[in-house]
Amino acid sequence: AITELSGGSPGYEWSLDGVLFEPLGALPLQLPPFLAGQYTLVVADQNDCETSIDFLVPTATELELNAGDDQTITAGESVQLNATANFVPVTVLWEGGDDLSCLNCLDPLASPPTTTTYTITAIDADGCAASDELTIEVEKERSVFIPNGFSPNGDGENDIFAIFAGPEVVRIRSFLIFSRWGEPVFQVYNFPPNDLNFGWDGRYRNQEMDPAVFTYFAELEFADGSVALYEGDVTLVR
């Protein structure tokens, strides 16, 4: 912009690089946008006396925002995101899922129950925005181990019949054990996997059961919200 002009005789004109002079009206005069490069601004009065000034319009830096690489996790796991930018964002917004630990930071923790694509938008101090996205693929691997035998003899090894699972299992809704005549001998509800406190010690009504084959039913809930029923036999040995 031309904000101030002194000297010469009124009736000024201006031009870029001395080509195609135009009348210079009231100040300040807002010059049009320029492409990157070197320019010469020339101002002439009514007597064709000229003054000039050189100025450089630098190449604008393109905003770059990188959400990070696509990743693959197992259901129930979390992953740390870490977006990077070549500018200082004043506003950050993640979209795509409500499982992020924060929506307005560059490095939220993501815990998607299913495969999810996240989009991040960042805005700089001039109001310019950049966006990027990444996808976290969630594999529905179901790592569940239910032993087919146990020996509750107090030796500290394999004394408890329990359910073991990976992080994709968030809860065991029910765990029921029956004798071969269909009599319920053990039942427990709504507990985490891998906890021996919720396993069966081979007792019924505070009495040790004789060696036998028992039937179990277990209802497991997974991180993606699905539920699966596991059933089978377990042998009690002493």
CA angle 61, 67, 68 (to 5 degrees): 115
What's the CA gap between 197 and 201, in Å, rounded?
Answer: 9
User: Tell me: the pLDDT tens digits for 12-36?
Assistant: 888 887 677 888 877 776 777 667 7
User: Tell me: the pLDDT tens digits for 76-88?
Assistant: 889 999 999 999 9
Tokens representing residue 96 in the block? 């795509």
Query: Which residue segments constitute the domains of the chain, with CATH numbers given?
Result: 13-57 (no CATH), 65-139 (2.60.40.10), 144-236 (2.60.40)
CA angle 104, 109, 115 (to 5 degrees): 105
pLDDT band at 105 (very low <50, low <70, confident <90, very high): very high
Residues in contact with 232: Cβ distance below 8 Å, sequence separation at least 6, in sequence order: 146, 148, 215, 216
Q: Are 109 and 131 in contact (CB under 8 A)?
A: no
What was the pLDDT predicted at 16? 80
Tokens 């765990």 appear where?
A: 175
The partner residues of 135 in beta bridges, in order of sequence, read 117
Above pLDDT 90, what percent of the chain?
Answer: 62
Specify the pTM: 0.50
Q: How confident is the model over 146-155, as a mean pLDDT? A: 95
